[in-house]
Chain A
Amino acid sequence: MLVGGEQGASAFRVKGVFILQNSTKTFSVQEMIQVKKQKKNTSSTIEKIVPILLLFTAIVSVLTTLGIVLTLIVETFTFFSRVSIVEFFTSTKWYPFSPTQGSYGVLPLVVGTLKVTGIAAIVAIPIGLATAIFLSEYASDRTRRIIKPILEVLAGIPTIVYGFFALTFVTPLLREFIPSLEIFNALSPGIVIGIMITPMIASLSEDAMSSVPNSMREGALALGSTKLEVSLKVVLPAAISGVIASVVLAVSRAIGETMIVAVAGGSTPSMSWDLTSSIQTMTAYIVQVSQGDAGYGTTIYYSIYAVGFTLFVFTLVMNLFAQFISRRFREEY
């Protein structure tokens, strides 16, 4: 073995000698490094300052949350000094613009939000999950590579475009079938929000299902299961926490969605569960006030913070719930 090494080396060694002769040291890198080191001792200062600067950038995100919470709390507090908190949460009348006697009961706005969100969930959950199962379990690699980016395009379309689509296409289309449907209603924006959040459910659920190991599928298929049985009885249960988290996140997106309802939902706060009449959601109310000329310091001005705070709590609870689910029930394969 040693001999083999020597043989191979001989030709090479000639080269090596040549190299060494050729590269007679005219300068020493180490010496140059030393000189540079002495000249600038700034590098150690940089090493100390940089982490501190970066820490400050990281703290900006914390400050943002803090800013949101403080803003909402402080301004909501002012609002509750003028309007009773009991009235806000129990009254079923929301007439802030009434010139004589304003009434601030947030429930009609919550009902409007829930109606739209419920319709969106009914549209998005089945379609989103079916798409996820198709992409993860049935589609070929190539199909998946084509369809997934297209769905991502659907998720990247600005919401104002969806709002335009709801008002100028979906509502007239629905009116062909439901003549009593008002121009502004809950149904049309609900369906369009559902379309908007479908890719979110599909994409996140597909990720969860794809990460289920193939050995599980093979085990079930080897027992004579059909693909459908594998999908519904093996893969879906194994990926359930990711799937639930994706649904919760998508629904939270639907609750906070603004432009679609502002354009196509109307501005009539209502406690009715009728889907065909005009409604107002929490977000749409904030938009309505922002556009109007309710001056700074009026009760109406502060009311948007109280409504915004309610909205923030709704979505925060859902986001925390989604995080809890995906952490608590994280699959260990």
Chain B
Amino acid sequence: MKLINHTSVVKHMKPRLVINILFKSLFFAATLFGLLVLGILLYRIFTQGIAYLDMQFLQSLPSRKPEQAGIKTALVGTIWLMAVVAPISLSLGVGTAIYLEEYAKKNRFTSFIQVNISNLAGVPSIVFGLLGLTVFVRALSLGTSVLAAGLTMSLLVLPIIIVASQEAIRSVPKELREASFGMGATKWQTIVHVVLPAAIPGILTGGILALSRAIGETAPLVVLGLPLFLAFLPKSVFDMFTVLPMQIYNWTGRPQAEFQSLAAAGIIVLLVMLIIMNSIAVLIRNKYQKRF
């Protein structure tokens, strides 16, 4: 006696296949949805802001009159911020990654650091703002300076750099380390001359992604109390400053349509910066991929 009735199985096959096709189209539509939103978002911002985007916009100080307003202070401030965040977060992040991958023993303290890093990555950025406000702005009396904001942002992006650097260091084959030790090189010599050069593409990619996160963040800077309107340029890391996202936030909040167009123009500049940075990261990744 047959337990399976093959004719009924075949009969049921057709609806199953139809459902399969139906869901495949649904899944595909969902995937397209993300792309569609991205398209609309870029199109909207581009058409809205392009009219205001010219050299005068890049070179002017902010103004109450929309036709004279520009992003010079914000652009310069963003560059200052990058100049502070890049060295601090890279040296701390790469140092931590080297320690965890090359020196740390597998004990409770090490796994505590590791768990701590992944939790830190999930802390909302605005909470980092509260930390920066209390420690850097008030306790260390740095005010709303480039340095205070730079330190806050460095801590915010630190987990990104640590995790990326750890992965890059871990992917360096152990044979290379053995070869170097076999020549009588010390541990530090091996790290500097063999491990880091081999891991540098991964570290750089992570670093660029972290930096692009830092220049797009707004919330922690609002909490630090960065001015929304600033008509002079910072001369040192101890000066007040503002950044592009703050300027965009300021303009977005104004009811007049002209200011919203200005915001769109500012967003175009911000996005272009991010696209350039991400393209560099992709280029680095493609150039050095599959080396081992």
Listed in ascending order, the chain A residues whose CB lies under 8 Å from chain B are 43-44, 46-47, 50-51, 53-62, 64-65, 67-68, 71-72, 75, 126-127, 130-131, 133-135, 138-139, 147, 149-151, 153-154, 156-161, 163-165, 167-169, 195, 198-199, 202, 224, 226-229, 249, 252-253, 255-259, 262-263, 283, 286-287, 290-291, 296, 304-305, 308, 311-312, 315-316, 318-320, 322-323
Contacts and interface: CB of A to CB of B under 8 A. Distances in A.
B5 interface: no
Contact residues of A: prevailing secondary structure: helix
Given A71-B135, A131-B34, A323-B115, A283 B126 contact: yes
A156 B212 contact: yes
A263 B34 contact: no
Interface string B109-137: 00011011111101111111111011100
Contact of B219 (A61, A159, A164): A159
Contacts of B238: none
A60 B117 CA distance: 10
Nearest to B115: A323
B101 to A, nearest CB: 10
9 contacts: A54-B99, A57-B96, A62-B112, A160-B216, A160-B218, A164-B252, A308-B127, A323-B115, A323-B119
A224 B117 CA distance: 46
Contact of A127 (B33, B96, B118, B264): B33
A292 to B, nearest CB: 10
Nearest to A304: B130
Contact residues of B: prevailing secondary structure: helix
Given A64-B155, A228-B19, A296 B127 contact: no
Nearest to B155: A64
Contacts of B113: 58-59, 61-62
A312 B124 contact: yes
B122 A133 contact: no
B31 A158 contact: no
B263 interface: yes
Contacts of A68: 123, 127-128, 130-131
B34 A159 contact: no
Contacts of B130: 68, 71-72, 286, 304-305, 308
Interface stretch (B35-43, B56-64, B65-73, B167-175): B35-43
A50 B103 CA distance: 10
B27 A60 contact: no
B236 interface: no
- Which of B34, B117, B128, B186 has the largest number of chain A CB atoms within 10 A? B34
A150 B38 contact: yes
A178 B12 CA distance: 43
Contacts of A168: 44, 48, 252, 260, 264
Given A61-B158, A154-B34, 11 more contacts: A61-B117, A68-B123, A157-B271, A160-B267, A164-B264, A224-B9, A228-B23, A291-B222, A308-B126, A308-B130, A319-B122
Contact of A75 (B134, B253, B274, B282): B134
Nearest to B263: A164
Given A153-B278, A286-B130, A226 B33 contact: no
A54 B99 CA distance: 5
B31 to A, nearest CB: 5
Nearest to A252: B122
B87 interface: no
A149 to B, nearest CB: 8
A131 B37 CA distance: 14
A44 B162 CA distance: 27
B245 interface: yes
Contacts of A161: 41, 45, 216, 248, 267, 270-271
4 closest A-B pairs (Cβ-Cβ)? Answer: A256-B124, A158-B216, A57-B95, A130-B30
Given A60-B96, A68-B131, A150-B38, A138 B124 contact: no
Contact of A160 (B99, B135, B187, B252): B252
A229 B16 contact: yes
Contact of A249 (B24, B26, B122, B224): B122
Contacts of A227: 20, 24
A286 B126 contact: yes
A32 to B, nearest CB: 13
Contact of B95 (A58, A131, A202, A304): A58
B116 A151 contact: no
Contacts of B207: none
B258 interface: no
Given A67-B135, A147-B35, A311 B127 contact: yes
Interface string B127-164: 11111011100100000000000000001001100100
- Which of A44, A258, A263, A319 has the largest number of chain B CB atoms within 10 A? A258
Contact of A258 (B19, B27, B138, B219): B219
A124 to B, nearest CB: 10
Given A43-B186, A61-B158, A130-B27, A290 B222 contact: yes
Nearest to A308: B130
Contacts of B38: 150, 153-154
Given A54-B98, A72-B130, A228-B23, A159 B123 contact: no
